[in-house]
Chains A and B, each alone.
Chain A
């Protein structure tokens, strides 16, 4: 009986295994293959050596990605907390409102920020009509971070909200019964229990922010070339798949390290100690 069910479960898992092999393992292998070969297909480390030129770009991408992620977290956490306290009716309305912009095309959303931030865009028209000096909004780092926060915020809110919703309310009551005031309860119960949501939200915002190229191209001007832009050029214009692949490869490793550090925050005993 036991044996059979394990066979069944293995069979049920087979499609996923095939999927994973075909669309996760094989592409990763291809990225690695291109990263370590030259145009003739011979093994080389030249692509990786060339990456030292782009170290500033890597640093900038990770920094802006991190900044966007932290801002997302600061906005999303209170919002998710408030949402989780509301009645079911209000909750579904609020979830809906958060999801709504995501139904619109990503490119379109970024493009509309251009119209808002331009030198003669909506914001500056408003400011100048009130008699103030116009501001340089577009083509700045701030605009890029804003674009990232705006586009990826729902990915931070939703996991935190889901985790908070599932929190066993009796734990909160127990803490209150034991004499904890509101701050104590929030600090010792709510925050530790929501860490898994924060970690998955962090991942879902950080990864696309670090590797984005569209947002930086449209909102960043000349001063903000991110690693995603460089990779895009290698594939689209330069036709140098090898350098592009090795850049992606390094980026993957860096993201992996960042996430590993992040995961240190979520190990079980760590959560309780906070």
Chain B
């Protein structure tokens, strides 16, 4: 009897001890064995809350909490990141590319499948950002930020409300217009204006877009990426196409700036956290991704970056400074037409780059170079002849 009682007791204790961790499931898994390891994170510039101006230093927080050293580096374009990854040698554990680059990476089998049991915070990502075209089975990516491109203009220099990309072709603003300095985004604006698909594989469509961009070329001050901040904030340029989130940053410095989503449509992007296949610390990478989706961290990042967030808890958080911001989160009636980039096939991509180079060279008027070079060449020839004659004379003299 006693024996039976004991065995029951032991069984109960055993059961309880098994059930205990299950009951306490939200409690963290044990990650102490990862202490002292290094995690290589490769992200866009200015794309994480980094502790400046009293914000939360997310990477330092992660290091403090888990004892994993974060080796954090930046890239400035998806293509740049891809080249670094492709050329090998560089080992990254977490990368944050945009949707079309994710599609390319998955296509080329360069991403590792994530173990979502290690990323419970994935549940907070809004369903409308899950299972998008590049990762329909939700195996590889966790969305980090989303956003749209729009038109930024200086109200002291531009008259009237603006609602169309057409203003970027308005000669009235010649020399005061800034355009994206990367082919995909620049073509996108022309394509939206023409009402084409940004993922067209028809070279005729691209040619038409090129013609439009060539028309714009003489009106442009310069093709820029992050230099746009400086130029718009100082009023050096009147009109620029850039990301909505960045407008909010510029507006803080220069309240004369205004923003709109042109009616012809805009590009819409999703940047996601992924793990490359050659990672050496996948467990820590998943831990990091989960950490980035923790409410307080996600709020800090969203406040810092100013891009729209796909995180449900952030949207409702009272600590979120941009809660309900109508530029980042326009309501249904204000929502512009959007197109998302897909990965272009190799031929189309090469064709686009070729056109892009053609566009940029077009602006070069090089008469002076031809004249200058011919004159220099003539001078050299004259000199050499002169030298030759002199030498002959000398020889004759001796």
Which residues of B197-253 are within 8 A (CB) of A?
217, 220-223, 234-236
- Measured in the bound complex, the distance between the Cα atoms of B356 and A269 in whole Å is 50
Task: Decide if A237 is an interface residue (CB 8 Å cutoff).
Answer: yes
Which residues of B328-385 are within 8 A (CB) of A?
346, 349-350, 353, 356-358, 360-361, 363-366, 368-370, 372-373, 376, 380, 384
- Which residue in chain B gives the minimum CB-CB distance to A274? B387
Task: Decide if B139 is an interface residue (CB 8 Å cutoff).
Answer: no
Do A237 and B361 have beta carbons less than 8 Å apart? no
With contacts A223-B363, A270-B387 taken as known, whether A237 is within 8 angstroms of B235 at the C-beta atoms is no
Do B346 and A261 have beta carbons less than 8 Å apart? no
Do B384 and A264 have beta carbons less than 8 Å apart? yes
Task: Decide if B77 is an interface residue (CB 8 Å cutoff).
Answer: yes
Least CB distance from B345 to A in Å reads 12
Task: Decide if B182 is an interface residue (CB 8 Å cutoff).
Answer: yes
With contacts A39-B346, A56-B361 taken as known, whether A273 is within 8 angstroms of B390 at the C-beta atoms is yes
With contacts A54-B361, A120-B234, A273-B387 taken as known, whether A60 is within 8 angstroms of B366 at the C-beta atoms is yes
Do B221 and A139 have beta carbons less than 8 Å apart? yes
With contacts A53-B358, A237-B79, A237-B183 taken as known, whether A222 is within 8 angstroms of B372 at the C-beta atoms is no
Least CB distance from A188 to B in Å reads 14
Do B372 and A63 have beta carbons less than 8 Å apart? yes
- Measured in the bound complex, the distance between the Cα atoms of B360 and A118 in whole Å is 21
Do B353 and A237 have beta carbons less than 8 Å apart? yes
Chain A 221-240 per-residue mask, 1 if CB under 8 angstroms from chain B, else 0: 11111000110011111111
Neighbouring A residues of B182 by C-beta, 8 Å: 237
Task: Decide if A64 is an interface residue (CB 8 Å cutoff).
Answer: yes
Task: Decide if B394 is an interface residue (CB 8 Å cutoff).
Answer: yes
Task: Decide if B172 is an interface residue (CB 8 Å cutoff).
Answer: no
Task: Decide if A66 is an interface residue (CB 8 Å cutoff).
Answer: yes
Least CB distance from B42 to A in Å reads 16
With contacts A39-B346, A238-B350 taken as known, whether A233 is within 8 angstroms of B372 at the C-beta atoms is no
Chain A 102-146 per-residue mask, 1 if CB under 8 angstroms from chain B, else 0: 000000000000000011100000000000000000010100000
With contacts A56-B361, A221-B221, A269-B391 taken as known, whether A239 is within 8 angstroms of B366 at the C-beta atoms is no
Neighbouring B residues of A230 by C-beta, 8 Å: 357, 361
Do B372 and A223 have beta carbons less than 8 Å apart? no
Neighbouring A residues of B346 by C-beta, 8 Å: 39
Do B236 and A118 have beta carbons less than 8 Å apart? yes
- Measured in the bound complex, the distance between the Cα atoms of B182 and A53 in whole Å is 20
With contacts A64-B369, A222-B363, A230-B357 taken as known, whether A119 is within 8 angstroms of B236 at the C-beta atoms is yes
Do A222 and B220 have beta carbons less than 8 Å apart? yes
Task: Decide if A67 is an interface residue (CB 8 Å cutoff).
Answer: yes
Neighbouring B residues of A63 by C-beta, 8 Å: 366, 368-370, 372-373
- Measured in the bound complex, the distance between the Cα atoms of B220 and A230 in whole Å is 20
Q: From A62, A229, A233, A264, name the one whose CB has the most chain B CB atoms within 10 angstroms.
A: A233
7 sampled A-B residue pairs with Cβ under 8 A? A53-B358, A56-B364, A119-B236, A222-B363, A223-B363, A237-B182, A237-B353
| 5 A-B pairs closest in CB distance | A238-B353, A63-B369, A221-B222, A222-B363, A237-B79
